[in-house]
Amino acid sequence: MRNHGRSKKGRGHVKFIRCDNCSQACPKDKAIKRITIRNMVEPAGKRDMAEASVYESYEIPKVYLKNQHCVGCAIHLRIVRVRSRTARRNRAPPPRFPIKDAKKASA
């Protein structure tokens, strides 16, 4: 095993974080971290606010959430998958899909 699932590399100790799902203490460098970006209001509410608003082009802010999970919860919630021993050698990131909003902006 190359790094025991951590990205410490020369630091003796790192702070622990709490898993968002089960509150288990997990080292910060070992935790699986994902950022989710969501709109503050759903599309129906967005349309209602646009009709009632005085401003013509007001952009409703987005909510940025950083999710930190322990390895067990990340597997259980299907954020990461268990891979075979040979597949674990593959270090390439998974393919990225184009963002839906980018298509609307270019059109």
pLDDT in tens, 81-107: 999 999 988 989 888 888 776 656 555
Tell me, what's the pLDDT at 91?
A: 87
The H-or-E segment that residue 27 falls in is strand 25-27
Phi, psi of 82, deg, nearest 5: -75, 130
CA-based Rg of the chain, rounded to a whole angstrom? Answer: 20
17-72 pLDDT, tens per residue? 999 999 999 999 999 999 999 999 998 898 888 888 888 888 889 999 999 999 99
Long-range Cβ contact pairs of 56-63 (< 8 A, separation 24 or more): 62/37, 62/38, 63/37, 63/38, 63/39
pTM: 0.74
Using CA atoms, how far apart are residues 28 and 25, in angstroms rounded to an integer? 9
Q: Say what the pLDDT of residue 105 is.
A: 59
Listed residue (37, 7, 23) closest to 70, CA to CA: 23
Q: pLDDT class for 1, splitting at 50, 70, 90?
A: low
Question: Residue 69 in contact with residue 20, Cβ under 8 Å?
Answer: yes
Q: What is the pLDDT of residue 103?
A: 59
